[in-house]
Protein backbone atom coordinates (compact mmCIF):
# COMPACT_ATOMS: atom_id res chain seq x y z
CA UNK A 1 0.00 0.00 0.00
CA UNK A 2 2.84 2.40 0.74
CA UNK A 3 4.30 1.76 -2.70
CA UNK A 4 0.89 2.48 -4.18
CA UNK A 5 0.68 5.73 -2.22
CA UNK A 6 4.12 6.79 -3.41
CA UNK A 7 3.20 5.98 -7.01
CA UNK A 8 -0.15 7.78 -6.88
CA UNK A 9 1.42 10.84 -5.29
CA UNK A 10 4.37 11.11 -7.68
CA UNK A 11 2.25 10.65 -10.82
CA UNK A 12 -0.23 13.17 -9.40
CA UNK A 13 2.58 15.69 -8.96
CA UNK A 14 3.71 15.18 -12.55
CA UNK A 15 0.22 15.32 -14.08
CA UNK A 16 -0.99 18.32 -12.09
CA UNK A 17 2.26 20.14 -12.79
CA UNK A 18 1.63 19.67 -16.51
CA UNK A 19 -1.95 20.86 -16.07
CA UNK A 20 -0.78 23.96 -14.22
CA UNK A 21 1.68 24.71 -17.03
CA UNK A 22 -1.06 24.47 -19.65
CA UNK A 23 -3.51 26.65 -17.73
CA UNK A 24 -0.88 29.29 -16.92
CA UNK A 25 0.11 29.39 -20.59
CA UNK A 26 -3.54 29.93 -21.50
CA UNK A 27 -3.78 32.76 -18.96
CA UNK A 28 -0.53 34.31 -20.18
CA UNK A 29 -1.99 34.49 -23.71
CA UNK A 30 -5.36 35.87 -22.67
CA UNK A 31 -4.64 39.01 -24.75
CA UNK A 32 -2.95 37.26 -27.68
CA UNK A 33 -4.86 37.84 -30.93
CA UNK A 34 -6.06 34.60 -32.50
CA UNK A 35 -4.94 32.45 -29.56
CA UNK A 36 -6.37 28.93 -29.35
CA UNK A 37 -6.33 27.59 -25.79
CA UNK A 38 -5.74 23.99 -24.69
CA UNK A 39 -7.51 21.73 -22.21
CA UNK A 40 -5.69 19.01 -20.25
CA UNK A 41 -7.20 15.53 -20.21
CA UNK A 42 -6.20 13.05 -17.49
CA UNK A 43 -6.53 9.28 -17.28
CA UNK A 44 -5.73 6.55 -14.75
CA UNK A 45 -2.39 4.89 -15.23
CA UNK A 46 -3.40 1.57 -13.63
CA UNK A 47 -6.55 0.37 -11.98
CA UNK A 48 -7.14 -2.14 -9.19
CA UNK A 49 -10.35 -4.13 -9.14
CA UNK A 50 -12.34 -3.88 -5.89
CA UNK A 51 -15.29 -6.09 -6.72
CA UNK A 52 -15.29 -9.58 -8.17
CA UNK A 53 -16.73 -10.19 -11.59
CA UNK A 54 -19.65 -12.12 -10.18
CA UNK A 55 -20.77 -9.34 -7.88
CA UNK A 56 -24.05 -7.52 -8.55
CA UNK A 57 -22.67 -4.24 -7.21
CA UNK A 58 -23.21 -1.55 -9.86
CA UNK A 59 -20.93 0.99 -8.18
CA UNK A 60 -17.47 1.75 -9.52
CA UNK A 61 -15.54 -1.48 -9.09
CA UNK A 62 -12.00 -0.16 -9.48
CA UNK A 63 -9.65 2.42 -8.05
CA UNK A 64 -6.95 4.23 -9.98
CA UNK A 65 -3.35 3.70 -9.02
CA UNK A 66 -1.59 6.74 -10.42
CA UNK A 67 -2.59 9.22 -13.11
CA UNK A 68 -1.16 10.65 -16.29
CA UNK A 69 -1.88 13.37 -18.84
CA UNK A 70 -3.51 11.54 -21.76
CA UNK A 71 -3.66 14.58 -24.08
CA UNK A 72 -3.83 18.35 -24.37
CA UNK A 73 -6.76 19.17 -26.65
CA UNK A 74 -7.14 22.42 -28.57
CA UNK A 75 -10.32 24.39 -27.94
CA UNK A 76 -11.83 25.10 -31.37
CA UNK A 77 -14.40 27.66 -30.30
CA UNK A 78 -14.18 31.14 -31.79
CA UNK A 79 -12.70 33.81 -29.56
CA UNK A 80 -14.32 37.14 -28.79
CA UNK A 81 -14.45 39.62 -31.68
CA UNK A 82 -12.56 42.85 -31.05
CA UNK A 83 -13.27 45.97 -33.11
CA UNK A 84 -10.33 47.83 -34.69
CA UNK A 85 -9.82 50.93 -36.85
CA UNK A 86 -8.19 49.24 -39.89
CA UNK A 87 -10.02 47.49 -42.71
CA UNK A 88 -7.04 45.14 -43.11
CA UNK A 89 -7.64 43.73 -39.63
CA UNK A 90 -9.57 40.52 -40.23
CA UNK A 91 -11.41 38.01 -38.07
CA UNK A 92 -12.71 34.65 -39.27
CA UNK A 93 -16.41 34.15 -38.58
CA UNK A 94 -16.39 30.36 -38.49
CA UNK A 95 -13.93 27.61 -39.35
CA UNK A 96 -10.63 28.09 -41.13
CA UNK A 97 -7.09 29.44 -40.91
CA UNK A 98 -5.15 32.25 -42.52
CA UNK A 99 -1.80 31.26 -43.96
CA UNK A 100 1.35 33.38 -43.73
CA UNK A 101 4.71 32.57 -45.23
CA UNK A 102 8.28 33.74 -44.96
CA UNK A 103 11.35 31.82 -46.08
CA UNK A 104 10.15 28.44 -44.81
CA UNK A 105 6.94 26.46 -44.97
CA UNK A 106 3.54 28.16 -44.67
CA UNK A 107 2.26 28.78 -41.17
CA UNK A 108 -1.40 28.86 -40.14
CA UNK A 109 -3.02 31.29 -37.77
CA UNK A 110 -6.28 32.86 -36.64
CA UNK A 111 -4.47 36.14 -36.07
CA UNK A 112 -5.74 38.48 -38.78
CA UNK A 113 -3.70 41.52 -37.70
CA UNK A 114 -2.57 42.41 -41.23
CA UNK A 115 -1.36 45.53 -42.99
CA UNK A 116 0.24 46.67 -46.25
CA UNK A 117 4.01 47.07 -46.15
CA UNK A 118 6.15 49.51 -48.17
CA UNK A 119 5.83 47.28 -51.25
CA UNK A 120 2.05 47.09 -50.78
CA UNK A 121 2.24 43.41 -49.88
CA UNK A 122 -0.42 42.26 -47.43
CA UNK A 123 1.65 41.07 -44.45
CA UNK A 124 1.36 40.09 -40.79
CA UNK A 125 2.73 42.31 -38.04
CA UNK A 126 6.08 40.48 -38.18
CA UNK A 127 6.37 40.81 -41.96
CA UNK A 128 5.21 37.39 -43.16
CA UNK A 129 3.29 37.38 -46.43
CA UNK A 130 -0.43 36.61 -46.33
CA UNK A 131 -1.30 33.95 -48.91
CA UNK A 132 -4.21 34.12 -51.32
CA UNK A 133 -5.25 34.29 -54.96
CA UNK A 134 -4.46 37.26 -57.20
CA UNK A 135 -7.06 38.45 -59.71
CA UNK A 136 -4.41 38.75 -62.47
CA UNK A 137 -6.24 41.82 -63.77
CA UNK A 138 -3.47 44.39 -63.30
CA UNK A 139 -1.03 45.09 -66.14
CA UNK A 140 2.68 45.78 -65.74
CA UNK A 141 2.05 49.51 -66.12
CA UNK A 142 -0.42 49.39 -63.20
CA UNK A 143 -3.61 49.60 -65.24
CA UNK A 144 -6.70 47.55 -64.46
CA UNK A 145 -7.23 45.18 -67.38
CA UNK A 146 -10.51 43.60 -66.31
CA UNK A 147 -13.20 44.59 -63.85
CA UNK A 148 -14.03 41.64 -61.56
CA UNK A 149 -17.17 41.51 -59.45
CA UNK A 150 -16.03 38.36 -57.63
CA UNK A 151 -13.04 36.01 -57.53
CA UNK A 152 -12.63 32.33 -56.78
CA UNK A 153 -9.65 30.56 -55.23
CA UNK A 154 -6.98 28.77 -57.21
CA UNK A 155 -5.65 25.44 -55.94
CA UNK A 156 -4.06 25.09 -52.48
CA UNK A 157 -0.51 24.76 -53.79
CA UNK A 158 -0.97 27.79 -56.07
CA UNK A 159 -1.61 30.34 -53.33
CA UNK A 160 0.79 33.29 -53.44
CA UNK A 161 1.60 36.48 -51.63
CA UNK A 162 -0.87 39.29 -52.23
CA UNK A 163 0.89 42.31 -53.73
CA UNK A 164 -0.99 45.33 -55.01
CA UNK A 165 0.45 48.50 -56.61
CA UNK A 166 0.35 51.81 -54.78
CA UNK A 167 -0.80 53.52 -57.96
CA UNK A 168 -3.47 51.91 -60.10
CA UNK A 169 -5.47 53.35 -62.99
CA UNK A 170 -8.97 52.44 -64.05
CA UNK A 171 -8.86 52.80 -67.85
CA UNK A 172 -11.57 54.79 -69.65
CA UNK A 173 -14.28 52.79 -71.36
CA UNK A 174 -15.59 54.73 -74.35
CA UNK A 175 -19.36 55.03 -74.71
CA UNK A 176 -20.71 52.76 -77.42
CA UNK A 177 -24.45 52.71 -76.74
CA UNK A 178 -26.94 55.39 -75.68
CA UNK A 179 -30.66 55.05 -75.25
CA UNK A 180 -33.24 57.85 -75.11
CA UNK A 181 -36.73 57.93 -73.65
CA UNK A 182 -39.31 60.72 -73.79
CA UNK A 183 -42.41 62.25 -75.36
CA UNK A 184 -42.00 64.88 -78.10
CA UNK A 185 -45.67 65.82 -78.03
CA UNK A 186 -47.46 67.18 -81.13
CA UNK A 187 -46.70 70.91 -80.99
CA UNK A 188 -43.98 72.41 -83.19
CA UNK A 189 -41.75 73.55 -80.34
CA UNK A 190 -38.08 72.49 -80.38
CA UNK A 191 -37.35 69.48 -78.13
CA UNK A 192 -33.92 68.56 -76.80
CA UNK A 193 -32.55 65.49 -75.04
CA UNK A 194 -28.99 64.86 -73.94
CA UNK A 195 -26.60 62.55 -72.18
CA UNK A 196 -22.93 62.36 -71.25
CA UNK A 197 -20.66 60.21 -73.42
CA UNK A 198 -17.05 59.21 -72.79
CA UNK A 199 -14.47 59.15 -75.60
CA UNK A 200 -11.42 56.90 -75.69
CA UNK A 201 -9.19 59.83 -74.69
CA UNK A 202 -10.94 59.82 -71.29
CA UNK A 203 -12.95 62.98 -71.98
CA UNK A 204 -16.54 63.33 -70.90
CA UNK A 205 -18.52 65.00 -73.71
CA UNK A 206 -22.18 65.87 -74.25
CA UNK A 207 -24.41 64.22 -76.86
CA UNK A 208 -27.40 66.48 -77.56
CA UNK A 209 -30.40 65.57 -79.71
CA UNK A 210 -32.50 68.45 -81.05
CA UNK A 211 -35.93 67.61 -82.49
CA UNK A 212 -37.94 69.92 -84.76
CA UNK A 213 -41.20 68.96 -86.42
CA UNK A 214 -40.95 68.93 -90.23
CA UNK A 215 -42.75 71.78 -92.03
CA UNK A 216 -44.37 69.39 -94.49
CA UNK A 217 -46.07 66.45 -92.81
CA UNK A 218 -47.25 63.19 -94.34
CA UNK A 219 -50.40 62.01 -92.52
CA UNK A 220 -51.58 60.05 -90.68
CA UNK A 221 -48.44 60.13 -88.51
CA UNK A 222 -45.97 62.90 -87.68
CA UNK A 223 -42.33 63.37 -88.74
CA UNK A 224 -39.50 65.13 -86.91
CA UNK A 225 -36.05 66.24 -88.01
CA UNK A 226 -33.39 65.32 -85.46
CA UNK A 227 -29.86 66.70 -85.22
CA UNK A 228 -27.27 64.97 -83.02
CA UNK A 229 -24.34 67.05 -81.79
CA UNK A 230 -21.35 66.05 -79.69
CA UNK A 231 -19.82 68.94 -77.76
CA UNK A 232 -17.35 69.45 -74.96
CA UNK A 233 -18.79 69.69 -71.46
CA UNK A 234 -18.43 73.49 -71.46
CA UNK A 235 -20.22 73.64 -74.83
CA UNK A 236 -17.45 75.67 -76.47
CA UNK A 237 -16.18 72.95 -78.82
CA UNK A 238 -18.29 70.97 -81.27
CA UNK A 239 -16.74 67.63 -82.28
CA UNK A 240 -19.38 66.18 -84.59
CA UNK A 241 -22.87 66.78 -85.97
CA UNK A 242 -25.22 64.40 -87.72
CA UNK A 243 -28.87 64.64 -88.76
CA UNK A 244 -31.75 62.29 -89.50
CA UNK A 245 -35.53 61.88 -89.50
CA UNK A 246 -37.79 60.06 -87.04
CA UNK A 247 -41.36 59.06 -87.90
CA UNK A 248 -44.31 58.25 -85.65
CA UNK A 249 -47.68 56.72 -86.51
CA UNK A 250 -51.06 58.19 -85.67
CA UNK A 251 -50.93 56.78 -82.14
CA UNK A 252 -47.51 58.33 -81.43
CA UNK A 253 -45.48 55.12 -81.66
CA UNK A 254 -42.02 55.31 -83.24
CA UNK A 255 -41.94 53.53 -86.60
CA UNK A 256 -38.58 54.60 -88.11
CA UNK A 257 -35.34 56.41 -87.27
CA UNK A 258 -32.64 57.28 -89.79
CA UNK A 259 -30.21 58.57 -87.15
CA UNK A 260 -28.48 55.39 -85.99
CA UNK A 261 -24.90 56.34 -85.07
CA UNK A 262 -22.51 59.23 -84.52
CA UNK A 263 -18.73 59.36 -84.13
CA UNK A 264 -17.38 60.47 -80.75
CA UNK A 265 -13.70 61.29 -81.18
CA UNK A 266 -12.94 57.98 -82.91
CA UNK A 267 -15.59 55.79 -81.25
CA UNK A 268 -18.90 54.95 -82.96
CA UNK A 269 -21.86 55.59 -80.65
CA UNK A 270 -25.09 53.70 -81.35
CA UNK A 271 -28.16 55.91 -80.85
CA UNK A 272 -31.22 53.94 -79.74
CA UNK A 273 -34.53 55.80 -79.78
CA UNK A 274 -36.45 52.58 -79.20
CA UNK A 275 -39.37 51.23 -81.20
CA UNK A 276 -43.10 51.48 -80.78
CA UNK A 277 -43.69 52.87 -77.29
CA UNK A 278 -40.42 51.61 -75.74
CA UNK A 279 -38.32 54.75 -76.27
CA UNK A 280 -39.17 58.12 -77.80
CA UNK A 281 -42.85 58.71 -78.60
CA UNK A 282 -44.99 61.58 -79.88
CA UNK A 283 -48.41 61.76 -78.26
CA UNK A 284 -50.70 64.63 -77.38
CA UNK A 285 -50.09 64.89 -73.65
CA UNK A 286 -49.36 67.83 -71.41
CA UNK A 287 -46.22 66.24 -69.98
CA UNK A 288 -43.18 66.35 -72.26
CA UNK A 289 -40.24 64.63 -70.53
CA UNK A 290 -36.96 63.06 -71.59
CA UNK A 291 -34.32 60.76 -70.07
CA UNK A 292 -31.37 58.70 -71.25
CA UNK A 293 -28.90 55.95 -70.37
CA UNK A 294 -25.38 55.44 -71.67
CA UNK A 295 -22.62 52.91 -71.12
CA UNK A 296 -18.93 53.80 -70.88
CA UNK A 297 -16.90 54.90 -67.89
CA UNK A 298 -14.53 57.76 -67.31
CA UNK A 299 -11.08 56.65 -66.17
CA UNK A 300 -10.06 56.96 -62.55
CA UNK A 301 -7.17 56.72 -60.12
CA UNK A 302 -6.84 54.44 -57.12
CA UNK A 303 -8.36 55.62 -53.85
CA UNK A 304 -7.37 52.57 -51.81
CA UNK A 305 -7.95 48.91 -51.03
CA UNK A 306 -10.36 47.27 -48.65
CA UNK A 307 -11.37 43.68 -47.85
CA UNK A 308 -14.99 42.49 -47.85
CA UNK A 309 -16.76 39.61 -46.06
CA UNK A 310 -15.80 37.22 -48.86
CA UNK A 311 -12.11 37.97 -48.11
CA UNK A 312 -11.84 39.71 -51.50
CA UNK A 313 -9.48 42.66 -51.85
CA UNK A 314 -11.42 45.51 -53.48
CA UNK A 315 -9.74 48.40 -55.32
CA UNK A 316 -11.76 51.65 -55.27
CA UNK A 317 -11.23 54.44 -57.82
CA UNK A 318 -11.96 58.15 -58.08
CA UNK A 319 -14.56 57.53 -60.81
CA UNK A 320 -16.72 55.58 -58.38
CA UNK A 321 -15.83 52.18 -59.84
CA UNK A 322 -14.61 49.18 -57.86
CA UNK A 323 -12.99 45.89 -58.82
CA UNK A 324 -11.81 42.76 -57.05
CA UNK A 325 -8.04 42.38 -57.45
CA UNK A 326 -7.28 39.51 -55.05
CA UNK A 327 -8.64 37.21 -52.37
CA UNK A 328 -7.32 36.11 -48.98
CA UNK A 329 -7.46 32.32 -48.69
CA UNK A 330 -8.88 30.42 -45.72
CA UNK A 331 -7.35 26.96 -45.27
CA UNK A 332 -8.90 23.94 -43.59
CA UNK A 333 -7.63 20.63 -42.18
CA UNK A 334 -9.13 17.21 -41.67
CA UNK A 335 -7.94 17.35 -38.04
CA UNK A 336 -7.26 20.77 -36.55
CA UNK A 337 -6.26 19.06 -33.29
CA UNK A 338 -3.26 17.57 -35.08
CA UNK A 339 -1.65 20.91 -35.93
CA UNK A 340 1.71 21.57 -34.30
CA UNK A 341 1.79 24.77 -32.27
CA UNK A 342 4.88 26.93 -32.82
CA UNK A 343 3.85 29.80 -30.54
CA UNK A 344 0.74 31.44 -29.16
CA UNK A 345 -1.18 31.79 -32.42
CA UNK A 346 1.01 30.11 -35.07
CA UNK A 347 0.69 26.50 -36.19
CA UNK A 348 2.13 24.27 -38.87
CA UNK A 349 0.67 21.19 -40.52
CA UNK A 350 1.72 17.73 -39.39
CA UNK A 351 1.05 14.11 -40.29
CA UNK A 352 -1.77 14.14 -37.72
CA UNK A 353 -3.49 17.22 -39.14
CA UNK A 354 -3.14 16.21 -42.77
CA UNK A 355 -2.49 18.56 -45.67
CA UNK A 356 -4.24 21.91 -45.97
CA UNK A 357 -7.38 21.80 -48.10
CA UNK A 358 -10.08 24.09 -49.50
CA UNK A 359 -13.77 23.41 -49.20
CA UNK A 360 -15.74 23.25 -52.45
CA UNK A 361 -19.24 24.34 -53.42
CA UNK A 362 -21.79 22.31 -55.38
CA UNK A 363 -20.06 23.35 -58.63
CA UNK A 364 -16.73 21.97 -57.46
CA UNK A 365 -15.21 25.44 -57.05
CA UNK A 366 -12.82 26.25 -54.20
CA UNK A 367 -14.42 28.44 -51.55
CA UNK A 368 -13.50 29.89 -48.15
CA UNK A 369 -16.79 28.66 -46.60
CA UNK A 370 -16.47 31.15 -43.71
CA UNK A 371 -17.10 34.88 -43.73
CA UNK A 372 -14.49 37.49 -42.93
CA UNK A 373 -15.10 40.41 -40.58
CA UNK A 374 -13.00 43.45 -41.44
CA UNK A 375 -12.21 46.18 -38.91
CA UNK A 376 -12.15 43.25 -36.46
CA UNK A 377 -9.75 40.87 -34.73
CA UNK A 378 -10.40 37.58 -32.98
CA UNK A 379 -9.25 37.56 -29.37
CA UNK A 380 -8.23 34.58 -27.27
CA UNK A 381 -10.90 31.89 -26.87
CA UNK A 382 -9.93 31.35 -23.23
CA UNK A 383 -12.00 32.67 -20.34
CA UNK A 384 -9.94 34.16 -17.51
CA UNK A 385 -12.51 33.45 -14.78
CA UNK A 386 -12.76 29.75 -15.58
CA UNK A 387 -8.97 29.61 -16.02
CA UNK A 388 -8.33 30.98 -12.54
CA UNK A 389 -10.83 28.52 -11.07
CA UNK A 390 -9.16 25.65 -12.91
CA UNK A 391 -5.76 26.83 -11.71
CA UNK A 392 -6.93 26.74 -8.06
CA UNK A 393 -8.27 23.20 -8.50
CA UNK A 394 -5.04 21.98 -10.09
CA UNK A 395 -2.95 23.68 -7.41
CA UNK A 396 -4.94 22.00 -4.64
CA UNK A 397 -4.65 18.65 -6.42
CA UNK A 398 -0.90 19.24 -6.67
CA UNK A 399 -0.73 20.03 -2.94
CA UNK A 400 -2.75 16.88 -2.16
CA UNK A 401 -0.38 14.76 -4.24
CA UNK A 402 2.57 16.34 -2.44
CA UNK A 403 0.94 15.63 0.92
CA UNK A 404 0.34 12.02 -0.16
CA UNK A 405 4.05 11.52 -0.90
CA UNK A 406 5.03 13.15 2.39
CA UNK A 407 2.56 11.03 4.39
CA UNK A 408 3.67 7.82 2.68
CA UNK A 409 7.29 8.68 3.42
CA UNK A 410 6.51 9.31 7.09
CA UNK A 411 4.63 6.02 7.31
CA UNK A 412 7.53 4.22 5.64
CA UNK A 413 9.99 5.74 8.11
CA UNK A 414 7.78 4.75 11.04
CA UNK A 415 7.41 1.20 9.75
CA UNK A 416 11.15 0.86 9.38
CA UNK A 417 11.79 2.18 12.89
CA UNK A 418 9.25 -0.28 14.37
CA UNK A 419 10.94 -3.18 12.58
CA UNK A 420 14.25 -2.19 14.11
Q: Are residues 143 and 48 in the same domain?
A: no
pLDDT at 3: 64
Q: Are residues 54 and 195 in the same domain?
A: no
Q: Are residues 386 and 367 in the same domain?
A: no
Domain count, the chain: 3
Distance between CA atoms of residues 348 and 360, nearest Å: 22
**What is the mean pLDDT of the segment spanning 233-242?**
93
- The pLDDT tens digits for 244-275 are 999 999 999 999 999 999 999 999 999 999 99
Q: Are residues 275 and 185 in the same domain?
A: yes
Q: Are residues 374 and 286 in the same domain?
A: no
The better pLDDT of the pair 399, 156 is held by 156
Which of 245, 278, 294 is the endpoint of a domain?
A: 294
pLDDT at 224: 95
Give the whole-number percent of the chain exceeding pLDDT 90. Answer: 60
CATH number at 222 reads 2.60.98
Q: Are residues 312 and 289 in the same domain?
A: no
Q: Are residues 161 and 91 in the same domain?
A: yes
pLDDT at 419: 58
Which of 247, 263, 294 is the endpoint of a domain?
A: 294
Quickly state the pLDDT bin for 301 (edges 50, 70, 90): very high
Q: Are residues 316 and 386 in the same domain?
A: no
Contact 378, 91 (CB under 8 A): yes
Mean pLDDT, all residues of the chain: 88
Q: Are residues 72 and 93 in the same domain?
A: no
- The pLDDT tens digits for 267-296 are 999 999 999 999 999 998 766 678 999 999
pLDDT at 1: 54
pLDDT at 56: 54
**6 has pLDDT over 90:** no
pLDDT at 104: 87
- The pLDDT tens digits for 193-212 are 999 999 999 999 999 999 99
pLDDT at 48: 55
Q: Are residues 352 and 312 in the same domain?
A: yes
Quickly state the pLDDT bin for 73 (edges 50, 70, 90): confident
Quickly state the pLDDT bin for 60 (edges 50, 70, 90): low
**What is the mean pLDDT of the segment spanning 5-15?**
73
pLDDT at 62: 55
**38 has pLDDT over 90:** no
What is the 3-class SS of the chain, one letter each residue?
CHHHHHHHHHHHHHHHHHHHHHHHHHHHCCCCCCCCCEEEEEEECCEEECCCCCCCCCCCCEEECCEEEEEEEECCCCCCEEECCCCCEEEEECCCEEEEECCCCCEEECCCEEEECCCCEEEECCCCEEEEEECCCECCCCEECCCCCCCCCCCHHHCEECECCCCCEECCECCCEEEEEEECCCCCCCEEEEEEEECCCCCEEEEEEEEEECCCCCCCCEEEEEEEEEEECCCCCEEEEEEEEEEECCCCCEEEECCCEEEECCEEEEEECCCECCCEECCCCCCCCEEEEECCECCEEEEEEEECCCCEEEEEECCCCEEEEEEECCEECCCHHHCEECCCCEEECCCCCCCCECEECCCCCEECCCEEEECEEECCCCCHHHHHHHHHHHHHHHHHHHHHHHHHHHHHHHHHHHHC
pLDDT at 46: 59
pTM of the model: 0.76
- The pLDDT tens digits for 42-56 are 776 655 554 555 555
The better pLDDT of the pair 49, 102 is held by 102
pLDDT at 47: 57
Q: What angle do CA 182, 188, 194 make, to 5 degrees?
A: 35
Residue 389, domain extent: 2-77+381-419
- The pLDDT tens digits for 312-350 are 999 999 999 999 999 999 999 999 999 999 988 999 999
Q: Are residues 271 and 216 in the same domain?
A: yes
Which of 240, 273, 294 is the endpoint of a domain?
A: 294
Q: Are residues 249 and 323 in the same domain?
A: no
Amino acid sequence: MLTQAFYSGITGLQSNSTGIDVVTNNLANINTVGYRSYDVEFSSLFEESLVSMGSSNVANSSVGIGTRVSSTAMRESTGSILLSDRNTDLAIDGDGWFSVKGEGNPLYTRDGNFTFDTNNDLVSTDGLYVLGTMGNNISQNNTLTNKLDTLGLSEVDQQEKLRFPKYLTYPPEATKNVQFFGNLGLTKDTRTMGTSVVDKQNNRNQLILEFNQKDIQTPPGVQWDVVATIKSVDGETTFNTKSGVVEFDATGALVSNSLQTIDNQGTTVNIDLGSGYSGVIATNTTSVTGSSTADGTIGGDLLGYEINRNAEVIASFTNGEQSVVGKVALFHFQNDQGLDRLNGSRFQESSNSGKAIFYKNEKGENINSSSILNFSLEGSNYDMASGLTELIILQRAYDASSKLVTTADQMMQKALSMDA
